[in-house]
């Protein structure tokens, strides 16, 4: 399976280069388990979900600790039929037998509850896309039910769901949505926007 994320980090400050470069060190503990490529628009992180989401969390938290308004935009995908299998993406989190939806929701809630705090509040909105399955709406409604019990659910919006809370719990919730809903070996994507230190937080 192939899994990865195209990410872009936007610090809202004249010193945006300094904030980005200062945050990049947060990826160092994950680099041996990721393939990373950067161009003038985004950075591609290729690796298993249990590495992708903590790496994105640590990068974003490091940038947000600057106190500046920071936004992370990410397109995350697994199982895309247009991408080749990559050994670096091997994961125990996906690809196994699909267990009943209620059991997956309960496991997702427990995983979020066990996540350590980062002491960095964030807001996020995201959309889940389950591709190529006849029961995709069951999976999406199951995910929404999990989100409402996750502890970071704020509200439903047009085309997406809004989350708010500690960055640890928010990124863990996104990871659980990505891994536990939709077929284990199927094509699933998330469209994510995460914000911290916004002057217009409501």
Place of tokens 């989350």: 163
pTM: 0.95
d(C-alpha 170, C-alpha 129), whole Å: 18
Please report how many Cα atoms fall inside a 13 Å half-sphere around the Cα of residue 79, on the Cβ side: 22
Tens digits of residue pLDDT in 10-65: 999 999 999 999 999 999 999 999 999 999 999 999 999 999 999 999 999 999 99
Tens digits of residue pLDDT in 174-188: 999 999 998 877 899
Phi, psi angles (nearest 5°) of residue 19: -65, -45
Tens digits of residue pLDDT in 68-125: 999 999 999 999 888 888 888 888 777 556 789 999 999 999 999 999 999 999 999 9
Q: Which fold has domain 3-196?
A: Alpha-Beta Plaits (3.30.70)
Query: Cα separations (Å) of 57 from 61, 70, 113, 167?
Result: 6, 13, 16, 7
Q: Domain ranges for the chain, please list them.
A: 3-196
Place of tokens 């217009």: 200
9 is in an annotated binding site: yes
């Amino acid at each position: 399976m192939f899994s990865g994320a195209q990410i872009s980090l936007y610090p809202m400050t004249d010193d945006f280069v300094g904030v980005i470069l200062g945050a990049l060190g947060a990826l160092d503990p994950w680099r041996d388990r990721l393939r990373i490529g950067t161009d003038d628009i985004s950075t591609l992180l290729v690796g298993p979900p249990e590495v992708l989401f903590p790496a994105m969390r640590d990068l974003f938290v490091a940038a947000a600790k600057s106190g500046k308004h920071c936004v992370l935009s990410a397109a995350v995908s697994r199982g895309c039929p247009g991408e080749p299998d990559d050994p670096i993406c091997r994961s125990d989190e996906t690809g196994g037998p699909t267990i009943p939806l209620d059991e997956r929701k309960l496991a997702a809630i427990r995983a979020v509850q066990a996540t350590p705090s980062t002491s960095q509040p964030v807001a996020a909105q995201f959309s889940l896309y389950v591709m190529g399955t006849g029961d995709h709406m069951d999976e999406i409604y199951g995910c929404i039910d999990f989100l409402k019990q996750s502890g970071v659910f704020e509200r439903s919006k047009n085309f997406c769901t809004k989350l708010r809370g500690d960055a640890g719990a928010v990124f863990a919730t996104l990871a659980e949505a990505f891994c536990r809903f939709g077929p284990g070996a199927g094509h699933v994507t998330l469209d994510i926007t995460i914000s911290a230190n916004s002057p217009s937080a409501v």
